[in-house]
Amino acid sequence: MRHARRLFARLKNLFGPGRADRELARELSAHLTLLADEFQHRGMSIEDARLEARRAFGGVEQAKELHREERSVLWLEQALQDLRYAFRSLLKTPGFAAIAMLTLALGIGANIAIFTVVNAVLLRPLPFQHPEQLVRVFDDLRGAGAQDVGMSVPELQDLRDRSGAFERISAVWTVSNALSGGDHSDRIEMLGTGFDYFQILGVNAALGRVYGPQDAVPGFSEAAVISDGLWKRQFGGDRNVIGRRIRLDEDGYTIVGVVPPDFRHPGKTLAGDVEVWLAAGMAADPMPMPIVRDRRLVPGAIARLKPGLTIQQAQLRLNALVAQLTKIYPKEYPAATKWSLRLEPVQESLTGSVRPTLIVLFAAVGFVLLMVAVNMANLLVARSSVRMRELAIRQALGASRARLIRQLLTESAMLSLAGGLAAILVLTLTKTSLLALMPADLPRLAEVQFDARVIGLACALSLLTGILFGLTPALHASRTDPNQDLKEGTRGGTASLRQNRFRGALVATEVALSVVLLSGAGILLHSFWNTLRVNPGFDPNGLLVTRIWIPSPNNPKANRYLTAPPLAAFSREVLRQVRMLPGIQDAAMGGDNSVPFVRNTLALRPFSLPDDPDSNQKQRSAEVASVNPDFFRAVRTPLLRGRVFTEADTDTTKPVILVNESFAKRYLSGHDIGMRMNYDRKDWEIVGVVGDVRDDGLDTPVAPRIYRALYQDADSNELAVFLRSASDSGLKQAVTRIVHAVDPELPVYGVRTMPEMMAASLARRRFSLFLMAVFGALALFLASIGIYGVMAYAVSQRAQEFSIRMALGADARDILLLALRPGVVLTLAGVALGLAAALGATRLMASLLFGVSPADPITFLAVSVSLALVALLACWIPARRAVRIQPVVALRS
């Protein structure tokens, strides 16, 4: 109580310290008067009494000082004093304060922005109970060079019952689905799971219930769980939605629950967030029967590790299981395929692909802040040389060096805190538009937000930056000799040699830092350029794609497009009608995996070549797509050998297949046309070889690929109409209308032009390039300001020297060279230093590069030259001024 009371009294004294001081002064003078009275009473003269009173009292100033210490919190009082002083002195130079705050706000703001993303995507644990126990399970066939090939149902059961690694495990697969209702069907994103899915994640429904083990049936359970988004969009947020019947791919389901709004499936999706969750037992229709071990039906699995088991220990148990199963089933797991099971933390498999990009951006933005700090230090040193006199006076009046440093640091910390505050303010205001800049396929994008950690970082970063850029100039400025500086100050403030050298070092550092940043930006630019120059293997211009989902009901007999004839009939009818639209040059139909640049669910599928004696030893795999006879002509992919499909290739004729060039090169060594292939339990004949298409993205190597004939075997879950036309105005609506006219039950989606899809596939690259370019430009700008500032100052300082030289006969060229030299030396030193650092830095970016070596000579040359040019310009402007000095004027002043 008494301490609290005292603390309160002391803190109160922080505000309005003047009142307490006046009161004390009055009291002390009263005290001295009483003492003097006493001495006078003892017979002293007035004068003597007064002197004696002072003596008896002791130091009045000490008493005041002690009193102040006792009544208030001294360091806090001084800090407040420093703050007020800093505020006043910054107000006196509003231009400096504004520029400083702006650059700081830029530097700190960029850091906070990137960190916010890094925090949400990489650092923050997934929003589930014990997220560290959540893993993805992948099947690899390393002998065939194939990863994530999916698992068979018996394997899934073994993992659950025999591995001893998991508490629970569930299959997961993303598919499109047709949600019927009203006059047409919508394509939605569905996640198929096992019955333990929600228990693994530990997620409960916000409304109703989630399905669980009690719902288990051999096929699909009727219980459907929907997303908050679908609930609001399709059902208007109606709380009575529980128990409603919905039709998905023509089957009836009952909505049992709605998941919380912030719940997202922690895995890759096809085109957006999952909207419906369905569970299946994987032991009945629509799963192909019979269930066999070598049919990898389950695309992926998610699991929760047994409590207390580390991921390494679990991996060991899986390795043991693999060894055991390989021994029991040698036919299903040939040794040559090197079948293995791999565990990956869910968080890593979700965000692993963006990790390198984010880390590089985070590093780059750190460099930007470093540059801002160096630039600020430079500005402050320049400023402190102007303030030399003020500091000298303060020191002469008794300010200790520590106090001076503290005061200067207060000033810089105040600046950077203000900058940080401004940054947060701007970021909060522009959050929505900044988020729109980010590639839409960034995982966990919805979780990006300011949290305590981000705010904490912003404050820490601001303070740290303030101290970083404030400390050196403060140490520097406070190391003054009052005598010398007062004299110098009156003469008009020439900075010492020491100071110039220091600023030079700062500028060289700035140049070096900007070389690093520009190299990063340059190398990304070069690799982006390379990406754009890649031949996609088809002509994307004027190509419009319209996707159609073919519902696959749980009862295969209910699937109207299960066999080739109806599918071919539908395709032919749609094509016949779209060809009548105005301006259509070409039209074709593709099946599964025929659309380039979209995230396909496909994995590499195994096949064998009976004619190839080696084939039985080696497991081979390739991507599989299906297309109609018009496809290659419409997309302008060249036929290299043999023939493409014809209308005559139907389900009654001999099964034929096409392969791409990569396939032929990798597996067929010369003999390709007429070769037999065994794939999907059937024999096929290779009738043609077509050119490679960069289906998985311009920057991804082409995989060996098999094309099946759409009209021959209808193993497609989706169709895509490819239209080539001069202009696509109104075309999108027209195609949708035609498809719905032919079959109103089929949902149409993803109507986009090929250039749009290519752009989307490059979104991440463009995003990181854009940011790096911004950072690089910022760096260049800061460096040139730094060089300019130092050079301009140096020239103004040497005005007298130049005048004397001119008076003695130096001509303009001599002076120009003389004035330029220090700047050129600094720049060259900085560039050399920066290049060395950049070589190390770009090596860390290797995974982001395409077709460029991390030590790309073009980039480094271009960066060095452009930086040298900018620096030269920044030096040249003040150097010109040196030439124009009027000797008479300069010498007189």
Partner 1 sequence: MSTEGKSRIQVLQGTLDLIVLRTLCSMGPQHAYGIAARLEQVSEDLLKLNQGTLYPALVRLEQQGWIKGKWDKTENGREAKYYAITKAGLKALGEETQRWRQLSSLVEKLLSEEF
By beta-carbon proximity to partner 1, the closer residue of 405 and 890 is 405
Residue in 26, 23, 45 with CA at minimum distance from that of residue 36: 45
Bridging pattern class, strands 605-608 and 676-679: antiparallel
Residue at token pair 């109970």: 129
d(CA 550, CA 557): 14
By beta-carbon proximity to partner 1, the closer residue of 37 and 614 is 37
The least distance separating partner 1 from the CB of residue 880, rounded to whole angstroms, comes to 55
Q: What residues does 623 pair with on adjacent strands? A: 705
The least distance separating partner 1 from the CB of residue 392, rounded to whole angstroms, comes to 24
Neighbours of 493 (CB within 10 A): 14
The least distance separating partner 1 from the CB of residue 477, rounded to whole angstroms, comes to 24
d(CA 838, CA 851): 18
By beta-carbon proximity to partner 1, the closer residue of 30 and 335 is 30
The least distance separating partner 1 from the CB of residue 78, rounded to whole angstroms, comes to 12
The least distance separating partner 1 from the CB of residue 404, rounded to whole angstroms, comes to 17
By beta-carbon proximity to partner 1, the closer residue of 349 and 407 is 407
SS3 of 681, please? coil
Q: Is 108 in contact with 465 (CB distance < 8 Å)?
A: yes
d(CA 647, CA 631): 12
Per-residue burial over 513-543, b if 16 or more Cβ lie within 10 Å, else e, is bbbbbbbbbbbbbbbbeebeeeebbbebebb
By beta-carbon proximity to partner 1, the closer residue of 30 and 336 is 30
Residue in 204, 227, 231 with CA at minimum distance from that of residue 274: 227
Q: What residues does 280 pair with on adjacent strands? A: 220
By beta-carbon proximity to partner 1, the closer residue of 24 and 426 is 24
By beta-carbon proximity to partner 1, the closer residue of 29 and 449 is 29
Spell out where 648-787 has E strands: 656-660, 676-679, 682-690, 705-709, 718-725, 748-753
The least distance separating partner 1 from the CB of residue 39, rounded to whole angstroms, comes to 12
By beta-carbon proximity to partner 1, the closer residue of 62 and 893 is 62
By beta-carbon proximity to partner 1, the closer residue of 26 and 576 is 26
The least distance separating partner 1 from the CB of residue 47, rounded to whole angstroms, comes to 19
The least distance separating partner 1 from the CB of residue 11, rounded to whole angstroms, comes to 11
Q: Phi first, then psi: what are they for 373, rounded to 5°?
A: -65, -45
d(CA 474, CA 483): 19
By beta-carbon proximity to partner 1, the closer residue of 3 and 884 is 3
d(CA 230, CA 222): 18
CA distance to 157, 221, 249, 559, per residue, from 554 (Å): 22, 10, 8, 8
Tokens matching residue 42: 């003892």
Q: What residues does 195 pair with on adjacent strands? A: none
d(CA 696, CA 703): 9
The least distance separating partner 1 from the CB of residue 10, rounded to whole angstroms, comes to 7
The least distance separating partner 1 from the CB of residue 45, rounded to whole angstroms, comes to 18
By beta-carbon proximity to partner 1, the closer residue of 3 and 557 is 3
Q: What is the DSSP string of 817-839?
A: HHHHHHHHHHHHHHHHHHHHHHH
SS3 of 330, please? coil
Instruction: Name the helix (H) or strand (E) containing 861.
Output: helix 857-883
Gap between the terminal Cα atoms of the chain: 67
By beta-carbon proximity to partner 1, the closer residue of 28 and 763 is 28
d(CA 795, CA 801): 10
- Furthest C-alpha separation in the chain: 139
By beta-carbon proximity to partner 1, the closer residue of 342 and 403 is 403
The least distance separating partner 1 from the CB of residue 32, rounded to whole angstroms, comes to 9
The least distance separating partner 1 from the CB of residue 18, rounded to whole angstroms, comes to 16
The least distance separating partner 1 from the CB of residue 787, rounded to whole angstroms, comes to 45
List contacts with partner 1 (CB under 8 A): 2, 5-6, 9-10, 24, 26-28, 30-31, 33-35, 37-38, 56-60, 62-63, 65-67, 69-71
> What is the dihedral sign for C-alpha 322, 326, 328, 331?
positive
The least distance separating partner 1 from the CB of residue 889, rounded to whole angstroms, comes to 52
The least distance separating partner 1 from the CB of residue 62, rounded to whole angstroms, comes to 6
The least distance separating partner 1 from the CB of residue 70, rounded to whole angstroms, comes to 4
By beta-carbon proximity to partner 1, the closer residue of 38 and 814 is 38
Cβ neighbours for 445, distance < 8 A, ≥ 6 positions apart: 121, 435, 438
By beta-carbon proximity to partner 1, the closer residue of 71 and 752 is 71
d(CA 520, CA 500): 30
SS3 of 838, please? helix
d(CA 269, CA 176): 10
SS3 of 236, please? coil
Cis peptide before 290 (omega within 30 of 0): yes
d(CA 156, CA 280): 13
By beta-carbon proximity to partner 1, the closer residue of 19 and 576 is 19
